Amino acid sequence: MKKYQKDDHLIYFGDALGVLHEKISDSSVDLIFVDPPYNIGKKFSNFKDRWPSDEDYAEWCYKWIDECIRVLKPCGTMYLMTSTQAMPYFDLYVRKKLTILSRIVWSYDSSGVQAKKYFGSMYEPLLHCVKNSKKYTFNHDDIKVEAKTGAKRKLIDYRGGVPKPYNTTKVPGNVWDFPRVRYRMDEYEEHPSQKPQSLLERIIRASSNEGDTVLDPFSGTFTAAAVAKSLGRKTISIESQEEYLKIGLRRVLEYEEYRGEVLRKPQKNTKIKNGRSKKEERHEEITEGLFNVNS
């Protein structure tokens, strides 16, 4: 394992379980965002996301979930993601150890590959959990969204003694609509499972404060750390694949070079045929894979 650091931002290049166990102290982290491999057969550089059975996958996850719980502060929060089919294992395990405040659905649209024989999966689930259900951070004012009834339809609420307009903003519920990261978006990185900045922004704003420490044990493109840094949080990231470590070094620690290689944002193919470039099509193929998994 190797450690890289700049100011309040730390990156470990290594195995999440080992790093958590050896390097992260008890009760030291305010917010953990965990987006592990989902056991759906994606290829993460040299890592193949497939365990021999669902039970084997769950057993592996339980180990790092326990480590995450250990490093979480008593008033800390953890968000856990996995595939729809694996989430029941997480839910049943975690609810014995933490309070699950919300079961969130991140929903998105796709007009690419579509299931024709069943209802294709168009969402990913998240658990929002805390150690202490009486004392935890939730900055509801920082994540308000437009309330359509009030803001768009301008309806009047006649239910009280005095009629008044509906609120124009509200705290979001547990179904979150955020577009997935597409090739043409500025935030795009070369990775098969990049999470959007908008999703992380809501999580980090809601469940941490400036100066808090945010941990992401499976960093991928380091979206969590990049957003957390932009919001004045400290970060700890772990990633096992060198190809993605380089994204973190550039995106979070602002390295310009790694072992003699110049680190750059993805060079996008601008040669467009039928409205889409080859690279864009390839990216859609890889990421759409998630839609048609029902094993």
Interaction site with ligand SAM (CB under 6 A): 15-16, 35-37, 44-45, 47, 191, 193-195, 218, 220-221, 223, 238-241, 244
SS3 179: coil
What's the closest the beta carbon of residue 150 comes to ligand SAM, in angstroms? 33
- 20 or 206: whose CB is closer to ligand SAM? 20
What's the closest the beta carbon of residue 69 comes to ligand SAM, in angstroms? 17
- 193 or 207: whose CB is closer to ligand SAM? 193
C-alpha distances in Å from residue 96, one per residue of 78, 131, 225: 14, 11, 29
Q: Which residue is nearest to ligand SAM (CB)?
A: 220
What's the closest the beta carbon of residue 38 comes to ligand SAM, in angstroms? 7
Residues 30 and 97: their CA atoms lie apart, in Å, by 17
What's the closest the beta carbon of residue 11 comes to ligand SAM, in angstroms? 11
Residues composing the chain: 295
Least Cα distance to 197 among 228, 169, 220 occurs for 228
What's the closest the beta carbon of residue 9 comes to ligand SAM, in angstroms? 16
Do the Cβ atoms of 177 and 158 come closer than 8 Å? no
- 94 or 245: whose CB is closer to ligand SAM? 245
What's the closest the beta carbon of residue 54 comes to ligand SAM, in angstroms? 17
- 194 or 207: whose CB is closer to ligand SAM? 194
Per-residue tokens: 171:
């705290």
Residues 115 and 72: their CA atoms lie apart, in Å, by 39
For 225, the enclosing helix (H) or strand (E) is helix 223-230
What's the closest the beta carbon of residue 89 comes to ligand SAM, in angstroms? 17
- 130 or 247: whose CB is closer to ligand SAM? 247
Let me know if 154 is exposed, middle or buried by CB neighbors in 10 A (0-12, 13-18, 19+). Answer: exposed
The dihedral built from the CA positions of residue 144, 169, 101 and 221, taken in this order, carries a sign that is negative
- 49 or 166: whose CB is closer to ligand SAM? 49
- 150 or 250: whose CB is closer to ligand SAM? 250
**Alpha helices (H) in 25-161, listed in sequence order:** 54-71, 87-94, 148-151
For residue 169, report the phi and psi dihedrals to the nearest 5 degrees: -130, 160
